[in-house]
Amino acid sequence: MSATTDRPAFPSGGADALPARLALKSPDAPRGLLDGAWWPRSRELSRELPALAAALDLLWGRITRVAVNPRYWPVVPRKVPVGRRVIKVGWFAAELDPHMLLLLSFRVGRWDLLVIPPETGAHSAERLMAAARDASGPPRTASALMANETAHPAHPELLTVWEDEGGAVPSEHPRAGRHHEQRDLA
Protein backbone atom coordinates (compact mmCIF):
# COMPACT_ATOMS: atom_id res chain seq x y z
CA MET A 1 0.00 0.00 0.00
CA SER A 2 1.33 3.45 -0.82
CA ALA A 3 0.25 6.89 0.25
CA THR A 4 0.83 10.37 -1.07
CA THR A 5 0.73 13.64 0.77
CA ASP A 6 0.76 17.29 -0.08
CA ARG A 7 2.81 18.10 3.01
CA PRO A 8 6.35 19.45 2.62
CA ALA A 9 9.09 16.83 2.51
CA PHE A 10 10.75 18.52 5.50
CA PRO A 11 9.18 19.79 8.71
CA SER A 12 9.02 23.58 8.97
CA GLY A 13 9.07 23.85 12.73
CA GLY A 14 5.64 22.48 13.54
CA ALA A 15 2.58 24.15 14.99
CA ASP A 16 4.47 25.13 18.12
CA ALA A 17 7.11 27.10 16.18
CA LEU A 18 7.35 30.68 17.43
CA PRO A 19 8.59 33.62 15.39
CA ALA A 20 12.28 34.48 15.64
CA ARG A 21 13.25 37.21 18.10
CA LEU A 22 15.31 39.59 15.97
CA ALA A 23 16.60 43.13 16.00
CA LEU A 24 18.11 44.22 12.69
CA LYS A 25 19.81 47.36 11.50
CA SER A 26 17.74 49.42 9.10
CA PRO A 27 18.51 48.76 5.44
CA ASP A 28 19.98 52.26 4.99
CA ALA A 29 22.33 51.96 8.02
CA PRO A 30 26.02 51.61 7.24
CA ARG A 31 27.41 48.09 7.41
CA GLY A 32 29.45 47.35 10.49
CA LEU A 33 30.71 44.36 12.41
CA LEU A 34 27.15 43.25 13.19
CA ASP A 35 23.92 43.49 11.24
CA GLY A 36 21.69 42.92 14.26
CA ALA A 37 20.92 40.38 16.95
CA TRP A 38 19.05 37.10 17.32
CA TRP A 39 17.72 35.76 20.62
CA PRO A 40 16.94 32.04 20.15
CA ARG A 41 14.73 30.21 22.63
CA SER A 42 17.04 27.19 22.90
CA ARG A 43 20.49 25.95 21.94
CA GLU A 44 19.08 23.55 19.33
CA LEU A 45 20.02 24.87 15.90
CA SER A 46 17.80 22.38 14.12
CA ARG A 47 14.83 23.72 16.08
CA GLU A 48 15.73 27.44 15.96
CA LEU A 49 17.01 28.00 12.41
CA PRO A 50 13.71 27.44 10.58
CA ALA A 51 12.02 30.41 12.30
CA LEU A 52 15.10 32.58 11.78
CA ALA A 53 15.30 31.66 8.09
CA ALA A 54 11.58 32.32 7.62
CA ALA A 55 11.98 35.84 9.00
CA LEU A 56 15.18 36.64 7.13
CA ASP A 57 14.19 35.11 3.79
CA LEU A 58 11.61 37.86 3.38
CA LEU A 59 14.12 40.61 4.16
CA TRP A 60 17.43 39.38 2.83
CA GLY A 61 16.56 36.69 0.33
CA ARG A 62 16.81 32.95 0.78
CA ILE A 63 19.31 31.99 3.47
CA THR A 64 21.39 29.16 2.04
CA ARG A 65 24.21 28.66 4.54
CA VAL A 66 24.87 29.33 8.21
CA ALA A 67 28.13 29.19 10.13
CA VAL A 68 28.51 29.05 13.91
CA ASN A 69 31.21 28.59 16.49
CA PRO A 70 30.36 25.29 18.24
CA ARG A 71 31.28 26.57 21.73
CA TYR A 72 27.68 27.33 22.75
CA TRP A 73 25.84 24.90 20.46
CA PRO A 74 25.82 21.34 21.86
CA VAL A 75 24.96 19.87 18.43
CA VAL A 76 25.78 21.47 15.10
CA PRO A 77 23.83 19.67 12.39
CA ARG A 78 25.28 19.64 8.87
CA LYS A 79 21.88 20.43 7.35
CA VAL A 80 18.66 21.89 8.72
CA PRO A 81 15.37 21.37 6.89
CA VAL A 82 13.42 24.58 6.30
CA GLY A 83 10.18 24.11 4.44
CA ARG A 84 10.95 22.35 1.15
CA ARG A 85 14.66 23.13 1.23
CA VAL A 86 17.73 22.61 3.38
CA ILE A 87 20.11 25.14 4.92
CA LYS A 88 23.70 23.94 5.11
CA VAL A 89 25.36 24.56 8.46
CA GLY A 90 29.08 24.78 9.08
CA TRP A 91 31.17 25.46 12.13
CA PHE A 92 34.44 27.25 12.71
CA ALA A 93 35.92 27.13 16.20
CA ALA A 94 38.88 29.49 15.84
CA GLU A 95 37.74 31.72 12.99
CA LEU A 96 34.28 32.72 14.18
CA ASP A 97 33.22 34.74 17.22
CA PRO A 98 31.43 32.33 19.60
CA HIS A 99 28.59 34.85 20.10
CA MET A 100 27.95 35.33 16.40
CA LEU A 101 25.99 33.65 13.64
CA LEU A 102 27.15 34.11 10.05
CA LEU A 103 24.44 33.84 7.40
CA LEU A 104 24.82 33.66 3.65
CA SER A 105 21.96 34.68 1.43
CA PHE A 106 21.43 33.70 -2.17
CA ARG A 107 20.62 37.29 -3.17
CA VAL A 108 22.26 39.68 -0.74
CA GLY A 109 25.47 38.20 0.57
CA ARG A 110 26.80 37.87 4.10
CA TRP A 111 25.12 38.93 7.33
CA ASP A 112 26.46 38.68 10.89
CA LEU A 113 24.16 38.50 13.91
CA LEU A 114 24.93 38.66 17.61
CA VAL A 115 23.51 35.51 19.21
CA ILE A 116 22.04 36.32 22.61
CA PRO A 117 22.06 33.24 24.84
CA PRO A 118 18.57 31.77 25.31
CA GLU A 119 18.82 32.02 29.10
CA THR A 120 19.44 35.79 28.99
CA GLY A 121 16.85 37.89 30.84
CA ALA A 122 14.50 40.13 28.87
CA HIS A 123 16.08 43.42 30.02
CA SER A 124 19.59 42.30 29.11
CA ALA A 125 18.39 40.90 25.78
CA GLU A 126 16.70 44.22 24.95
CA ARG A 127 19.90 46.15 25.69
CA LEU A 128 22.00 43.74 23.64
CA MET A 129 19.57 43.89 20.71
CA ALA A 130 19.61 47.69 20.78
CA ALA A 131 23.42 47.77 20.92
CA ALA A 132 23.77 45.30 18.03
CA ARG A 133 21.53 47.31 15.72
CA ASP A 134 22.92 50.72 16.76
CA ALA A 135 24.68 52.16 13.73
CA SER A 136 25.72 55.39 15.46
CA GLY A 137 27.96 53.90 18.14
CA PRO A 138 31.44 52.46 17.75
CA PRO A 139 31.54 49.12 15.95
CA ARG A 140 31.90 46.26 18.43
CA THR A 141 32.21 42.54 18.02
CA ALA A 142 29.58 40.16 19.33
CA SER A 143 31.89 39.01 22.13
CA ALA A 144 32.64 42.63 23.10
CA LEU A 145 28.92 43.36 23.44
CA MET A 146 28.39 40.24 25.56
CA ALA A 147 31.40 41.07 27.76
CA ASN A 148 30.14 44.62 28.26
CA GLU A 149 26.69 43.38 29.29
CA THR A 150 28.20 40.87 31.72
CA ALA A 151 30.54 43.45 33.26
CA HIS A 152 27.99 46.28 33.49
CA PRO A 153 24.49 44.88 33.88
CA ALA A 154 21.94 47.62 34.28
CA HIS A 155 19.39 46.40 36.81
CA PRO A 156 18.17 49.44 38.74
CA GLU A 157 15.37 47.41 40.27
CA LEU A 158 17.93 45.08 41.81
CA LEU A 159 19.91 48.00 43.23
CA THR A 160 16.75 49.25 44.95
CA VAL A 161 16.07 45.86 46.51
CA TRP A 162 19.70 45.46 47.55
CA GLU A 163 19.83 48.96 49.06
CA ASP A 164 16.52 48.51 50.89
CA GLU A 165 17.79 45.26 52.39
CA GLY A 166 20.83 46.99 53.89
CA GLY A 167 23.28 46.43 51.04
CA ALA A 168 25.59 49.10 49.74
CA VAL A 169 25.42 50.80 46.37
CA PRO A 170 28.82 51.43 44.74
CA SER A 171 30.10 54.93 45.55
CA GLU A 172 30.18 55.99 41.88
CA HIS A 173 26.49 55.13 41.48
CA PRO A 174 24.20 58.23 41.36
CA ARG A 175 22.10 56.86 44.24
CA ALA A 176 25.11 56.30 46.50
CA GLY A 177 24.76 57.98 49.85
CA ARG A 178 21.05 58.71 49.44
CA HIS A 179 20.08 55.76 51.60
CA HIS A 180 22.35 56.88 54.40
CA GLU A 181 21.02 60.44 54.21
CA GLN A 182 17.49 59.14 54.66
CA ARG A 183 18.55 57.10 57.69
CA ASP A 184 20.18 60.13 59.30
CA LEU A 185 16.95 62.10 58.95
CA ALA A 186 14.82 59.42 60.55
DSSP 145-186: HHHHHHHS---HHHHHHHHHTT----TTSTTTTHHHHHHHH-
Whether 44 and 101 share a structural domain: yes
In a domain, 104, yes or no: yes
Look at residue 100 and tell me if it is in a domain. yes
When pLDDT is averaged across residues 56-70 and rounded to a whole number, the result is 91
Contacts 24+ apart (CB under 8 A), 160-166: none
pLDDT digits (tens, 9 = 90+) for 145-160: 898 888 866 544 444 4
Stated pTM of the model = 0.71
- Percentage of the chain beyond pLDDT 90 is 48
Q: What does the pLDDT read at residue 91?
A: 94
Check whether residue 160 and residue 82 sit in a common domain: no
Residues 30 and 67 reside in one and the same domain: yes
Strands 85-91 and 110-115, by their bridges, are unpaired
Q: Are 111 and 170 members of one domain?
A: no
Q: What is the pLDDT of residues 12-29, one digit of tens each?
A: 444 356 889 999 998 888
Output the pLDDT for position 49.
96
What domain count does the chain have? 2
117 and 31, same domain (yes or no) = yes
Tell me whether residue 1 is in a domain: no
Whether residue 178 sits in one domain with residue 97: no
Q: How far apart are CA 46 and CA 31, in angstroms?
A: 28
Tell me, yes or no, whether 122 lies in a domain. Answer: yes
Has residue 30 been placed in a domain? yes
**Averaged pLDDT score across all residues of the chain:** 77
In a domain, 55, yes or no: yes
Task: Give the range of the structural domain holding residue 91, as residue numbers without chain letter.
Answer: 22-132
Does residue 43 lie in a domain region? yes
Residues 113, 175, single domain; the answer is: no
